[in-house]
Amino acid sequence: MKADLAANPAWSGAPSQTDEFLLMFLRAEVFSPSAAANRYRKFWKAKITLCGEEKAALPIKFEDARAALESEFVQLVPGTRDIEGRQVVMIVSSNMDKTLERRLRLLSVWYVLLAALEDVETQRRGFCFVGYQKAVKRSQADPTFVKMVMQSLQGALPVRIGSINICYPPTFFRVVWGIINPFLHERVKRRVRVIPGTDAEVLGVLGAIVPPDGLPPPMGPKPKEFSAWLAEQAQKDA
């Protein structure tokens, strides 16, 4: 990977990185050096677009994305893993605040995932995404933003996608899916599960992947810990 980057460098302003940081990209690409180097280059291109060249070399801080993080549309679920040991992240679409600019919302996604990737086991095993769509309104749908997130997951962030579980898809889901589907890699499409039905039906299917008692409201009974996790992250950033 280092030889590949030496021959075709990433952004010239990127800070020198530790082997531990580069390992995240190798693990995301199942130790393919060329694919890992390519993802690393894309990471910096995407981060420049997201943060601006003057801030791209700096870590993303809680205060940079505070408003979007506190809306809790993207939530790490501390302590909960799927049956394969993957870190669970919930996407609560009804919490989406479209008055916030897309860049800020995307920054919050990056913040949560990069913080979770500080755990080596999450780097190795990846993520299980659970999308809660039950209370979402058509006015909250934002296919452009979904494409931005998927492009980050597929090609820039050092993330392994174990599964994406879309629960309670709304009636307009087909429209949104039709817009984002062409932008998804085939291997990502194979990891998408759409789970419609009643509470019992959805939790029955999802329960084979994620323990139902390991999910917080609005899906499960686990005490909500994301706010406390955010507070800890903010303190660390300070």
- pLDDT tens-place string over residues 141-155: 999 999 999 999 998
Q: Per-residue pLDDT for 83 more than 90?
A: yes
C-alpha 77/C-alpha 157 separation (Å) is: 19
Say how many domains are in the chain. 2
Domain identity same for 194 and 122: yes
Residue 121 is predicted with a pLDDT of 96
C-beta separation of 25 from 40 below 8 A? yes
Residue 238 is predicted with a pLDDT of 84
Domain identity same for 118 and 16: no
Residue 122 is predicted with a pLDDT of 97
Average pLDDT of the segment spanning 51-55: 96
C-beta separation of 131 from 192 below 8 A? no
Average pLDDT of the segment spanning 28-35: 97
- Pick from 89, 141, 133, 154: which is nearest to 115 by CA? 89
Domain identity same for 32 and 63: no
Residue 62 is predicted with a pLDDT of 97
Q: Mean pLDDT over all residues of the chain? A: 95
Give the distance from CA 140 to its chain's centroid: 19
Classify residue 73 by its DSSP letter: S
Greatest C-alpha distance within the chain: 54
**pLDDT tens across 98-144, in order?**
999 999 999 999 999 999 999 999 999 999 999 999 989 999 999 99
Residue 44 is predicted with a pLDDT of 98
Model confidence at 212, pLDDT cuts 50, 70, 90, reads confident
Residue 190 is predicted with a pLDDT of 95
In which domain, by residue range, is 12 found? 1-57
Domain identity same for 17 and 44: yes
Tokens standing for residue 143: 């296919």
Domain identity same for 50 and 76: no
- Pick from 222, 190, 231: which is nearest to 90 by CA? 222
**pLDDT tens across 176-191, in order?**
999 999 989 999 999 9
Domain identity same for 71 and 189: yes
C-beta separation of 104 from 124 below 8 A? no
